[in-house]
Chain A
Amino acid sequence: EVQLMESGGDLVQPGGSLRLSCAASGFTLSGLSMHWVRQEPEKGLVWVSQINSDGTFTFYADSVKGRFTISRDNAKNTLYLQMNSLRVDDTGFYYCARGTLSIPGLDSWGQGVLVTVSS
Chain B
Amino acid sequence: QTVVTQESSLTVSPGGTVTLTCASSTGAVTSGNSPNWLQQRPGQAPRALIYGATNKHSWTPARFSGSLLGGKAALTLSGVQPEDEAEYYCLLHYDGVWVFGGGTKLTV
Residues of A within 8 A of B (CB): 35, 37, 44-47, 50, 57, 59-62, 95, 97, 100, 103-112
Contact = CB atoms under 8 A, between A and B. Distances in A.
Interface centre among A44, A57, A105 (most CB of B within 10 A): A105
Interface residues of B, number: 24
B72 interface: no
B98 A95 contact: no
Contacts of A110: 45
A45 B100 contact: yes
A109 B97 contact: no
Contacts of B97: 47, 59-61
Given A45-B89, A46-B100, A50-B96, A104 B47 contact: no
Q: Is the interface of A mostly helix, strand, loop or mixed?
A: strand
Contacts, number: 66
19 contacts: A44-B89, A44-B100, A44-B102, A45-B103, A47-B97, A47-B98, A50-B96, A59-B97, A62-B1, A97-B46, A100-B52, A103-B52, A104-B34, A104-B93, A105-B51, A106-B36, A109-B48, A110-B45, A112-B45
Interface centre among B52, B97, B99 (most CB of A within 10 A): B97
A59 B96 contact: yes
Contacts of B99: 47
Interface string B23-63: 00000000000101010100001111001100101000000
A50 B45 CA distance: 18
Contacts of A46: 100
A15 B52 CA distance: 38
Contact of B45 (A35, A95, A100, A105): A95
